[in-house]
């Protein structure tokens, strides 16, 4: 059986500026800003919500089925998916577009200036998620994507009765309060970070408890403070797993969601699902980029055992 993963696929272009932005931006001249930063270090990583979540699911032994759109420049990403053994059956090519890309410049103080080009992601609604089921899918996630794509994927999954996690992420600001409530009504689960939870509350006019009551489980990540899972009328507190090193948070949320999905797929209780999600986030944060960590299943189980004194797979 497969887990349908709807969301963006992107290239993350990371550039390192070895000075500080504040030394080159004059506050009194901000109205005529014209600056250039020399970036001798450039790294290009594979990313995007769907790509990252699917990668982490593959590490766990699940079978992700990606539903996403890419542009004319996707050959490198396609070769990577082939090497990982991930299906491209529903990775749709949109001619005359670029694959979504983030251009991130980081200075010596870890300040960032980011530009994001959505490219093919804006045509995600051209993928009909209903075709991806094929009798194989038992679970899905709708992650950040083009606005119309997120809405259509949520409605399509509800139509074919595949339970899904609604994970609007960075796409949350482009959805109205009514659209957010509509997606929650269709979803079985929801996962957001604490900032997104507050933004969702503000846009819908409903508190976290009321939003959580609309789904079977409402997961709020809290960074270094762990996560809360609202389920069955209670709030389950899940601690963070101490990482080997704090290197790069890029993609940690996607790794967390992969752990959550795998736990749901296995039929675990919510505390165990949250604990695995924390383990996956800890493994990711000790590496740069969204897909450069490569623990084996044995390493994942060992970290779970070390952190929580049990092995839920045993």
Per the listing, tokens 């070895």 go with 18
Residue 135: predicted pLDDT: 64
Catalytic residue among 107, 167, 254, 269: 254
User: For residue 275, what pLDDT is reported?
Assistant: 98
Predicted local confidence at residue 112, as pLDDT:
86
Q: Which two tokens stand for residue 191?
A: 């996962």
What phi, psi does 277 have (nearest 5°)?
-60, -40
- What is the four-CA torsion angle of 36, 41, 42, 45, rounded to 10 degrees? -140
pLDDT in tens, 180-203: 999 999 999 999 999 999 999 999
The pLDDT tens digits for 211-232 are: 999 999 999 999 999 999 999 9
Respond yes or no: is residue 107 known to be catalytic: no
Helix ranges (H only) for the chain are: 49-60, 75-84, 147-159, 177-186, 194-204, 208-212, 252-266, 270-285, 297-308
Lowest mean pLDDT among 4-8, 55-59, 191-195, 245-249: 245-249
Please tell me the distance from the alpha carbon of residue 64 to that of residue 74, in angstroms, as a whole number.
19
User: How confident is the model over 115-141, as a mean pLDDT?
Assistant: 91
User: Distance between CA atoms of 167 and 177, rounded to whole angstroms?
Assistant: 15
Question: What is the C-alpha to C-alpha distance for residues 142 and 150, in angstroms, rounded to an integer?
Answer: 6
38-54 average pLDDT score? 96
In this prediction the pTM is 0.95
Give Dmax over CA atoms of the chain in angstroms.
Answer: 63
Q: What is the mean pLDDT of residues 288-297?
A: 96
Q: Which of 27-41, 183-197, 249-263, 300-314 has the lowest mean pLDDT?
A: 27-41
pLDDT level of residue 136 (50, 70, 90 thresholds): confident
pLDDT (tens digit per residue) in 106-127: 899 878 899 999 999 999 999 9
């Amino acid at each position: 059986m497969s887990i349908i993963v709807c969301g963006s696929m992107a290239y993350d272009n990371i550039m390192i500026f070895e000075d500080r932005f504040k030394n080159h931006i004059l506050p009194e001249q901000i109205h005529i800003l014209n600056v250039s930063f020399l970036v001798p270090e450039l790294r290009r990583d594979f990313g995007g919500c769907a790509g990252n979540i699917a990668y982490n699911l593959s590490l766990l032994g699940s079978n992700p089925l990606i539903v996403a759109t890419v542009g004319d420049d996707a050959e490198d990403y396609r070769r990577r998916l082939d090497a990982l053994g991930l299906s491209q059956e529903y990775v749709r090519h949109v001619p005359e577009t670029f694959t979504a890309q983030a251009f991130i410049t980081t200075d010596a103080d870890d300040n960032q200036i980011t530009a994001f080009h959505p490219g093919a992601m804006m045509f995600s609604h051209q993928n009909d998620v209903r075709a991806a089921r094929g009798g194989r899918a038992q679970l899905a996630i709708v992650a950040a994507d083009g606005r119309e794509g997120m809405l259509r994927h949520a409605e399509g999954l509800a139509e074919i009765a595949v339970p899904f996690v609604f994970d609007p992420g960075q796409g949350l600001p482009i959805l109205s309060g009514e659209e957010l409530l509509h997606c929650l009504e269709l979803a079985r689960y929801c996962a957001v970070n604490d900032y997104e939870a507050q933004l969702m509350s503000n846009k819908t006019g409903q508190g976290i408890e009321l939003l959580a009551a609309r789904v079977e489980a409402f997961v709020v990540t809290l960074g270094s403070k762990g996560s809360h899972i609202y389920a069955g009328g209670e709030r389950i507190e899940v601690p963070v797993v101490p990482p080997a090193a704090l290197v790069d948070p890029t993609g940690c949320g996607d790794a967390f969601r992969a752990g959550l999905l795998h736990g749901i797929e296995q039929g675990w209780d919510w505390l165990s699902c949250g604990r695995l999600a924390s383990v996956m986030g800890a493994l990711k944060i000790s590496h740069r980029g969204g897909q450069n960590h490569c623990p084996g299943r044995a390493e994942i189980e060992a970290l779970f055992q070390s952190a929580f004194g049990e092995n839920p797979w045993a």
